[in-house]
Structure 1
């Protein structure tokens, strides 16, 4: 995707004086990297040259969906703390190979291999203990649409854990998918964010449907997933 296409394709999901939530298309890096391609941060800073734009979480380049940025120092500090303390609810949709069980919890020890720029499953006590909660939303002949809630948000956590469970994400050849996509995207989408506003204190909820093309189209229109934002996978509480 060219820098011009990226600017044209960038949808604002929420914006006020303190926060900005964007729908990142796949293929755009969130921040500048060695590729030299235009990043999401660069686009935002170009549009808002006078403001202190802060990045408080990230999505991998081939992933699409909601990215939260801050537009004030007060919000940046508060949102960093909110992410660190687990007070931001994040959900993802993915199209995976095969048919997982209806509800699942994956638990692994994850090692960040910085030399190979990937995560791998550790052996014994090696690595960080991570958990990924999921449920099957819809099924097809060869693929399933799943909703996912990672507890930790570790580097490549969702991608590595699904691959280890035998259900790699469609297009994710780095983690076991049979074939990549022409645009190098993978079928992983950050579909939902909920958090308390860092200044006003009011609850903010952002729902982002996945792309309507490619493998996603096999499952028909995907809006708000039934039950999304109500069940708390991590402790069994009902929220909403």
Structure 2
């Protein structure tokens, strides 16, 4: 068991304990905290409390976290759209709706499950849950990903991500007609303090930079290309929403009323380029937009005629 102690600051007086701990404990949701309280795994001044307990200055909070569950990720015979493969890497075109790696509540049907069935040699740097995974894209974002088959390839690809030399271009359909043909968004990103499922523009967040170019304008919509200078969680989605042009279909940052029935944000990782870790030469992969994406673009083009 892992025990953590917090001493409440005077400025936190009156805050609910579940809200306080959801912010204090990295990556822990409010519902997770409430579950710990129900199991008497959280004590205040050595006493059992309820989730609605309101903090007092200098309260001593003791949190007992359960041991991390050891998981065995099973190979699954799931079809992959493989663009390229050799002894060092696999490049795939991930479909919309596929989760990249297992996580609580979603241990099956992921890209990792499919990769484990397809090949046995994946890098081990990110552990049993994320073997071979160098970078990821959201469940409802489609497009190109590179997977490392060995640790040397993983390290070399990770360095390219870190120094921003890996080429990553996305196509996104956004709400509204952008007036500028191009632009640059430089706003720091971090966990939304009011809703931990979301990311947000926060002053003490990590620097995030997105470049965008208009590909085509329609009646009330714009197709853009986004070029990532950094690669933060939900970066394109949050950045475009922050300037008033959220992605079509985005369930977290988009408009509540949607014209098109789509399963998630209309975002496609179209181009990925990098120095091959084994051959030391630049290679690049570009994929077409998914059929559902192209169908909506065709409808919008017809509306503008």
- The TM-score range, normalised by the shorter chain, is 0.7 to 0.9
1:176-215 to structure 2, matched below 5 A, reads: 176-179=254-257, 184-213=263-292, 215=293
Q: 2:235 aligns with which of 146, 151, 157?
A: 157
Q: Is 1:60 aligned to residue 121 of structure 2?
A: no
SS of alignment partner, residue 54 of structure 1: coil
Check conservation: 1:21, 1:68, Cα contact below 8 A: yes
Give the C-alpha shift of residue 132 in structure 1.
Answer: 1.1
Give the C-alpha shift of residue 119 in structure 1.
Answer: 0.8
SS of alignment partner, residue 32 of structure 1: coil
CA deviation profile, 1:185-226 (whole Å, cap 9, x unmatched): 21000000111111111111000111122x432434xxxxxx
CA deviation profile, 1:62-108 (whole Å, cap 9, x unmatched): 11001110112221111111111112110000000011121111122
Check conservation: 2:78, 2:109, Cα contact below 8 A: no
SS of alignment partner, residue 129 of structure 1: coil
Give the C-alpha shift of residue 151 in structure 1.
Answer: 1.3
1:88-237 to structure 2, matched below 5 A, reads: 88-100=166-178, 101-113=180-192, 116-122=196-202, 125-179=203-257, 184-213=263-292, 215-220=293-298
**CA–CA distance in structure 1, aligned partners of residues 212 and 233 of structure 2:** 18
Give the C-alpha shift of residue 57 in structure 1.
Answer: 0.3
Q: How many residues align?
A: 212
**CA–CA distance in structure 2, aligned partners of residues 24 and 179 of structure 1:** 27
Structure-1 residue corresponding to 2:52: none
**CA–CA distance in structure 2, aligned partners of residues 97 and 51 of structure 1:** 39
Q: 2:103 aligns with which of 21, 33, 36?
A: 33
Q: Which has the higher contact order (CA 8 A, sep 6+)?
A: 1
Check conservation: 1:138, 1:219, Cα contact below 8 A: no
SS of alignment partner, residue 291 of structure 2: coil
**Normalised TM-score (structure 1):** 0.81
SS of alignment partner, residue 153 of structure 1: coil
Q: Which has more radius of gyration?
A: 2
The root-mean-square deviation of aligned C-alpha atoms, in Å, is 2.1
SS of alignment partner, residue 223 of structure 2: strand
Taking structure 1 as reference, are residues 89 and 27 closer, same or farther at Cα in structure 2, changes over 3 Å only?
A: same
Q: Which runs of 5+ in 2 are unaligned?
A: 1-76, 124-130, 299-305
